[in-house]
Chains A and B, each alone.
Chain A
Amino acid sequence: MDKGRISSIQMGMMMYLTILATAILTVPSITAKYAKKDLWLSPIWASIIGFFTVIIVIQLSKRFPRQSFFQICEHTIGTLATKLLGFLYFTFFLIASGQITRTYAEFIKVFFIKTPVSVIMITMLLLSAFTVIAGIEVIGRVAQLFFPIFVFSVFIIIFLLLPQLEPSNIFPILENGLLPSLKGAIIPQIWFGELFLIVFLLPSLSDSKGMKWGILTVLLILVTFIITNITVLFILNQNTEFYIYPFLSATQLVNLGDFIESIEPIIIAIWILGTFIKITVFYYVTILTTAQWLKLSDYKPIVWPIGILIVEVSFWAVPNLMVNNHIDITVFPFLFPIMQTFIPLFILGMAVIRKKSKSLEI
């Protein structure tokens, strides 16, 4: 369908930005609500889902090389079930894209008080739509371009915050046992589960190092996650859970010799870069899912209609920021693992039981 090819490193960068762009800002706060001072441990437990998902997806693609996810499903569970599953994934990705777009808009709205939310979302989706039409190769290259900027900015901010860090805030470690940090892991695991998206990227890989870079991406995300969580904890201490965007609030405290201060525009800029990749990847996957599910010959004609639908969904599903965060806590911890980890696991299981595989004969 999309003839473009990306390298597995580009795939890793895409996933890194997709996952961390939103995770850095809102997740520390939600994690802290349950894990309290052990919030830096939670990503470790959460990353297990990440590794698990990557391994499942890679195993699937090894059994069915260069096959799309729904083709794999057809081979294992039959046409009718695949059609049903396709519908499920279509709605799932539509809701996910809508919610991500809304989260982005809500954050930008804090600074652009007078700009209507719809304008913020439409301008972003317009840009994403052009990128999606251009295909996977362009998305991969844009990710490669933004990745160093993103990583560099995050670490320069952490570096500038070093004088403010209060390492004793980490104590007492595991005050109430392991349970709080495990509970805290329920939210970040959603983000790690998003690595499932590589199932749609693997057929476009130009090399065969998908496994290696998939695992490496999870590791890198894990490390960044822990570092940002620890930074936030060392600065905001027990108040982390009360801030909606703790990393942003921490960034506002940067002050180097009364000279370098108020650098939070940087974090807004990198957030826009990162979310652009995130929205584009989800948008692309939504389009691809729809096209593969309906067996369309080309995906380009549906890019615009689906884009309008994403904007609509982001309004229908989310009335305000409180509900947005509430959905993050109550619905997504169950919905995302089922769609991203357990259904692929089930399909892999079926494939193993029925001893199905398909070698290169397209």
Chain B
Amino acid sequence: MKRFFLSLSFFLSIFMLSGCWDRVEVNDIAIITATAIDLTEDNQIKVTAQVFIPRALSGGGGLGTGGGDLTLIRTGIGSNLADAVSKLQMVLPRTIFWGQCKVFIFGMGLAENGIREQFDFLVRHPEPRGRAFMFVSKADTEKVLQLLPPLERYSGEVLKELLDFKIGLPVTMKDLDLMLTSDAQNAVLPLIKVYPPNKGKTENESIPYISGSAIFSKDKMIGTIGEYETRGIMWIKNMLKYSTISFKAGNEEEEISVSPVQSDVKLKPRISKDKWKMTIKVQAEGDVVQNETKLNLMDPETIKRLEIDFGKNIKHRIEAAIDPLQKEFNIDIIDFATEFHHHYPKEWKKVKNRWNEIFPQIEVSVDVNANIRRPGYTSTPSGLPKDEVKK
């Protein structure tokens, strides 16, 4: 009897162990590759999803370029993001799957109105990844997702790849969450524009690209800064590990370019006699890649002079980034609050609630130690007769 029940339970468990009763196969899910969230004119939330079409990849015979699109675009409109997503599901025959969505784009309208309410859905829902990148789009969000990039497979991929080599500020969902609750409570997100299509191509055959950043006070967007300032901010945040810098050497008309510039930036806060000061210490070094001038780069004296100009250029870049923040926007997106909090917890507590008033008054000094290590493959300017080379 015991043996009978034992063997029975063994047989019965075969049916249980397969574990397939609520399986989700790839052909049951709609893999979202990029999502755009925007506000409609009557204050509804519009969500636009770029859905990957697996069939387009597998069928069609390999590298044939004429095949159908790899993605399709669907939109849903609702009173909030969750509602809009459920409306989106109504026009998708497969279950929405967020796990592969690496790009989330906020439209300008929503960004100016405040993103917190909709951002909550992304953080709370178990599927969207904390590592997904966040953007703000100047162009119409639906259009950005509709673009058919010539090189990459879909526009979401383009944005992700661009960020991978640090063209703009890489801000993930987790970073944005941390920024909004940080000591300064402000955020900055990369800004997207649409690259004008090449001649003879249709309007859609282009890519979105990153141009500058959107500045957020709390969760509301209050303005934008350009590419030059954005790179300055990336210097301060120590995100720029490799870059190319061109600078005018002394009194020369022409420029010298150094690349790749490897840098390390440290923020050193100080409070003395009620004066809040921040020293930005920059350590940078690089190799010369282009020499427009007639200077001989093998001369140690010349290099010493060049290093000073090199440093001045970096200093200017950083100051140009801080200037609009302190004078125009009055908000801190460069972690000064965190630095002061770490080093001066007591003083910080007093000014915590009026940080936006203190921040513009901080005296910022930039201290650059720039080095040029190697001249590249040639010493004297190429294509220049020896007697024209300057000292």
Contact = CB atoms under 8 A, between A and B. Distances in A.
A226 B197 CA distance: 55
A254 to B, nearest CB: 9
A111 B174 CA distance: 20
Interface in B175-194: 177-178, 181-182
Interface string B312-327: 0000000000000000
Contacts of B174: 235-236, 253
A236 B343 CA distance: 20
B51 to A, nearest CB: 20
A66 B99 CA distance: 54
A314 to B, nearest CB: 22
Nearest to B341: A172
A217 B183 CA distance: 39
Interface string B51-64: 00000000000000
Nearest to B164: A258
Contacts of A114: 22
A252 B131 contact: yes
Contacts of B181: 238-239, 242
A249 B130 contact: yes
B131 A255 contact: yes
B74 interface: no
Interface string A201-241: 00000000000000000000000000000000001111100
Contacts of B342: 168, 171-172
Interface of A: 110-111, 114-115, 168, 171-172, 175, 235-239, 242, 249, 252-253, 255, 261-262
A225 B105 CA distance: 38
10 nearest interchain CB pairs?
Answer: A171-B342, A172-B345, A175-B345, A114-B22, A253-B130, A252-B130, A172-B342, A237-B178, A238-B181, A253-B131
Interface residues on chain B, size class: 10 to 19
B66 interface: no
Interface string B153-177: 0000000000000000000001001
Contacts of B383: none
A267 B285 CA distance: 42
Contacts of B182: 237-238
Given A110-B126, A172-B345, A238-B178, 11 more contacts: A114-B22, A172-B342, A175-B345, A236-B174, A238-B181, A239-B181, A242-B181, A253-B130, A253-B174, A255-B131, A261-B131
Nearest to B99: A262
Given A175-B345, A262-B99, A239 B178 contact: yes
Contacts of A262: 99, 129
Contact of B126 (A111, A115, A242, A261): A111
Contacts of B177: 239
A224 B173 CA distance: 28
A186 to B, nearest CB: 24
Contacts of B99: 262
A64 to B, nearest CB: 40
B248 to A, nearest CB: 36
Nearest to A168: B342
A351 B65 CA distance: 86
28 contacts: A110-B126, A111-B126, A115-B22, A171-B341, A171-B342, A171-B343, A172-B341, A172-B342, A172-B343, A172-B345, A175-B345, A235-B174, A236-B174, A237-B182, A238-B178, A238-B181, A238-B182, A239-B177, A239-B178, A239-B181, A242-B181, A249-B130, A253-B130, A253-B131, A255-B131, A261-B131, A262-B99, A262-B129
A115 B23 CA distance: 12
Nearest to B348: A172
B295 to A, nearest CB: 41
B8 to A, nearest CB: 16
Contacts of B341: 171-172
Nearest to A170: B342
A261 B172 CA distance: 15
Interface string B120-149: 000000100111000000000000000000
A70 B240 CA distance: 67
Given A172-B341, A172-B342, A252 B129 contact: yes
